[in-house]
């Protein structure tokens, strides 16, 4: 299922992706939703859904690297997710630590550069250490940027950006009249990154969930009923092919 937006003609197959780079999204962002419900439907513990979700992450990252997508941003853990049971959070931290260790070889082989956005408070030191190692190890890679949003909330991100700007005004480095959209963008966690062109959400939920609120102003939205553990390369292709048919006017008129 996808939102209804004016389209231009296309005959692309859902199982293939256009080789015309002008039709490919530069930056794909994904809200990976439905791990717990996938598990519950199968009478499995919720943590098994998270475990299976890692396989979907691997498939998606590899396919974006193969297609030379400039950036892939994955919503791994929201700032609101700390309300979940402690055993589930502990398992999520374990999965994150394990991913950072076990995927390094593949990340290096495919030239993927890892970045992380979000607040670091609450994340165990052992996990932060592995995150930092992976970021440093992959920093010179020239392929797809894999950005992981961990302990991330868009409202918190905007608040942090405004605090930084306010401090610069208080110290005289800036004037209030200097504040504009560009300055705010430069003080967000995503400073220097392109805005997402395509936002994908799994599990059929029709909401943004406090994810990249500033950055997705003109992103194309695509929603699938599939839960994240079920998400495949073919689903990614389908989303990208729908994106290729969208008429992106950015508030202007179609020529």
- Residue 214's Cβ-count burial label (10 Å; 0-12, 13-18, 19+) is middle
Of residues 81, 141, 195, 210, which has the active-site annotation? 81
d(CA 195, CA 162): 19
Is 33 catalytic? The answer is: yes
d(CA 123, CA 186): 25
Is 14 catalytic? The answer is: no
d(CA 76, CA 88): 14
Here the tokens at position 6 are: 């004016």
CA angle 72, 78, 84 (to 5 degrees): 140
Of residues 14, 33, 187, 235, which has the active-site annotation? 33
Catalytically active residues are 33, 81
């Amino acid at each position: 299922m996808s939102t209804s937006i004016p389209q231009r003609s296309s005959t692309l197959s859902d199982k293939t992706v256009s080789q015309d780079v002008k039709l490919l999204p530069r930056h794909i962002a994904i809200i990976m939703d439905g791990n717990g419900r996938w598990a519950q439907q199968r009478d499995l513990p919720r943590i098994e859904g998270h475990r299976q979700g890692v396989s979907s992450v691997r498939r998606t990252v590899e396919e974006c690297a193969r297609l030379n997508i400039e950036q892939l941003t994955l919503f791994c853990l929201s700032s609101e997710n700390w309300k979940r049971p402690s055993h589930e959070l502990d398992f999520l931290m374990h999965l994150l630590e394990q991913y950072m260790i076990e995927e390094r070889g593949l990340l290096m082989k495919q030239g993927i550069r890892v970045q992380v956005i979000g607040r670091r408070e609450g994340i165990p030191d052992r996990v932060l250490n592995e995150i930092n190692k992976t970021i440093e190890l992959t920093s010179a890679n020239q392929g797809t940027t894999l950005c992981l949003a961990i302990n991330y909330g868009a409202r918190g991100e905007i608040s942090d950006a405004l605090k930084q700007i306010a401090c610069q005004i208080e110290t005289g480095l800036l004037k209030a009249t200097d504040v504009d959209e560009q300055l705010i963008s430069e003080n967000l966690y995503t400073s220097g990154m392109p805005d997402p062109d395509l936002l994908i959400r799994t599990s059929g939920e029709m909401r943004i969930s406090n994810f990249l609120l500033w950055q997705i102003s003109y992103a194309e939205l695509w929603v699938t009923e599939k839960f994240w553990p079920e998400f495949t390369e073919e689903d990614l292709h389908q989303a990208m092919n729908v994106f290729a048919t969208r008429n992106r006017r950015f508030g202007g008129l179609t020529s």
